[in-house]
Structure 1
Amino acid sequence: MDFLNNILRFPLEELPFVLIVLVIAFTVHEFSHAYFAYKFGDPTAKLLGRVTLNPAVHFDFLGVLLLVIAGFGWARPVPVNRDNFKNPRLMGVVVSAAGPLSNFVLGIIGAFIYALLIATGVLDGITNERLLFAITTFLRYFCFMNFFLFLFNLIPLPPLDGYRIVEDIVPPRVRMKLQQFEQWSIFIFLLILFIPVLQMYTISPLYMWANSINYQFVFSFLKLFGVSI
C-alpha cells in the first residue's frame, strides 16, 4: 500500500474518483474534436466511430496511466484530415481548440454545481461521512482535472492541441520549420516525465493555475448565490 502511495500522483483512496473524472474529461475532449471535424466536412473520425461519447472508443491506457503516475497524460487522439475543410487553417484552429475548451466548460459546470451544493446547504445536510467524502472528492477533482487538461493541452508542443493551433496560425514557411521538430516531441515528454526539476517548471505550475482557476469560479458562483466568503 505504501509502495502505491509513493508512485501515484494522487492519494490511493481518491484514485477511483480521479479515474472516473478522467474518463469523463477525456471522452468529452476527444468527442469535441471529432464532432467539429465532422461538422466541418471531415468524415475521418466519423468513419472510425469516434463521434461518440462512448469512453471505450477514446480510452488510451498508457495515457491515463502516465497521468495517474506522472501528472500528465492523454486520451486516444482523434485523426483529422484538414484537407477536407473548406477553410483548413481556420477550421483547423476551431477543431484543435474544441477539446481544451470542452474541458474548460466542464470545469465551470463542476464549479457551479459545487458552489450550488454549498450555497443551498446540501453538503451540510449530509451526515454520512463516506457519501460526503465521495461527493466533495469527485467534484473537487472534476473541476481541477478539467481546468488542468484545458491548460495542459494548450502547451504548444506536439502532439498537444496548443501546437496544432499554433501550426494553423503561423505562416506556411514557419509551419514547415516547426514540423521538422515534431519527431523530438516524445523525447521532451520523457524528459519531463523522468526529471523532477523539469516537472517543477512545467507540470507543477499548471496544477497551481488549475487550482487557482477552480477557486476563482467557485468563489464567484458563491457570491452570485449570495454566500459571503
Structure 2
Amino acid sequence: MGEEFIVKAALYVVPLLLAVVCHEVAHGWVAEKLGDHTARLSGRITLNPFVHIDLIGTVLLPAILILTKSPFLFGWAKPVPVNFGNLRRGRRDMALVAASGPMTNLVLAGASAVVYRLIVLGLSGGVIPQTGWAPWIVVPLAQMAGISVEFNLVLTVLNLLPIPPLDGGRILVGLLPESLAYRLARLERFGMLILVVLIATGSWSQIVRPVLKAFVDLFLG
C-alpha cells in the first residue's frame, strides 16, 4: 500500500498543483486587468506553488482521496484575494473574474488531452520506441496527462455549479438581474455547507457525473 501510494502521489502531484495554481492565478490576473491589483500586491500572481498551497485542499484531501481509491480527485489552493469593489464594471467584471478559473482548467484539460493522444499515437504508430529509455519517460508522462485531463475537468464542472462561493454562483450573481443576484449572493455563507451535503449524500454524482463523463469521453475518447 505504501509503495502504491508513493507511485500514485508522484503521478498526481504535478497535475494537481498545476491545475489549482493556474486556476487561482487566472482569477488574480483577470482581476488585475479589470482594475483590482489586490492579488498582485499580495504576491499571488505567480506560478510558485508554495504561495498557493492550502494544507487541507492541496495536501490532505487529495492524499485521503488517493489512499481511499476515490473514483475522483478533488482539491483547491488558497483563494486569491480579489476586491470586487475595485473592478471597473462591477458585477459584469466579477463574472469574468469568476469564469477565468474554470475556463483555465478547461484549457489545461484540452492541452493535456492533446499530449495524451500524441503519446498514445506515437507509441502505437511506432514513432516512439517501446524499448529502451523512451517508455520510462513517455508512459508516466501519458499517465500524468490523463490524470490532468480528469482532474481539470472535475475542477471545471464542480466550480461551475451555480452555488456561491463557487465560481458558477459568482458568475450567476454577475449576470442575473440585481434583485435575483442579491438573493443568490445571500446564499454564499451556506454555499460550502450545501456542497458538502451534496457530496456526502451522493446527490452531487447525479448532477455532476453525467456531465463529467461526457467531457472525459470527449477529451480522452
Q: TM-score, normalised by structure 1?
A: 0.80
Of residues 102, 105, 118, the one that matches 2:104 is: 102
1:67–1:74 CA contact under 8 A, matched in 2? no
Quote the residue 2:145 is aligned against. 139
- Report the Cα offset of residue 203 of structure 1: 4.8
Distance 1:123 1:55, change over 3 A: farther
The separation in 1 between residues aligned to 2:114 and 2:23, in whole angstroms, is: 20
> Which letter does structure 2 place at the counterpart of 1:98?
S
The separation in 1 between residues aligned to 2:166 and 2:61, in whole angstroms, is: 15
Quote the residue 2:10 is aligned against. 16
Quote the residue 2:170 is aligned against. 164
The separation in 1 between residues aligned to 2:27 and 2:164, in whole angstroms, is: 16
2:157–2:208 CA contact under 8 A, matched in 1? no
Distance 1:66 1:21, change over 3 A: same
- Report the Cα offset of residue 54 of structure 1: 1.0
1:152–1:206 CA contact under 8 A, matched in 2? no
Of residues 30, 52, 57, the one that matches 2:51 is: 57
Correspondence 1:173 to 2:179: yes
> Which letter does structure 1 place at the counterpart of 2:91?
R
1:118–1:124 CA contact under 8 A, matched in 2? no
The separation in 1 between residues aligned to 2:9 and 2:215, in whole angstroms, is: 19
- Report the Cα offset of residue 186 of structure 1: 2.3
> Which letter does structure 2 place at the counterpart of 1:80?
V
- C-alpha RMSD of matched pairs (Å): 2.5
Structure 1 vs Structure 2: percent identity of aligned residues?
Answer: 31
Quote the residue 1:212 is aligned against. 217
Quote the residue 1:42 is aligned against. 36
- Report the Cα offset of residue 12 of structure 1: 6.3
> Which letter does structure 2 place at the counterpart of 1:147?
L
Distance 1:42 1:119, change over 3 A: same
C-alpha distance after superposition, 1:37-62 (max 9, x if no partner): 11111011111111111111121121
The separation in 2 between residues aligned to 1:113 and 1:72, in whole angstroms, is: 22
Of residues 78, 81, 87, the one that matches 1:79 is: 81
Q: Which runs of 5+ in 1 are unaligned?
A: 6-10, 217-229
2:20–2:75 CA contact under 8 A, matched in 1? no
- Counterparts of 1:182-193 in structure 2, within 5 Å, are 182-193=188-199
The separation in 1 between residues aligned to 2:138 and 2:23, in whole angstroms, is: 28
Report SS of the residue matched to 1:73.
coil
Quote the residue 1:27 is aligned against. 21
> Which letter does structure 1 place at the counterpart of 2:105?
N
Distance 1:194 1:147, change over 3 A: closer
The separation in 1 between residues aligned to 2:120 and 2:75, in whole angstroms, is: 31
2:92–2:174 CA contact under 8 A, matched in 1? yes
The separation in 1 between residues aligned to 2:83 and 2:106, in whole angstroms, is: 25
- Higher mean alpha-carbon deviation, 204-213 vs 96-105, is at 204-213
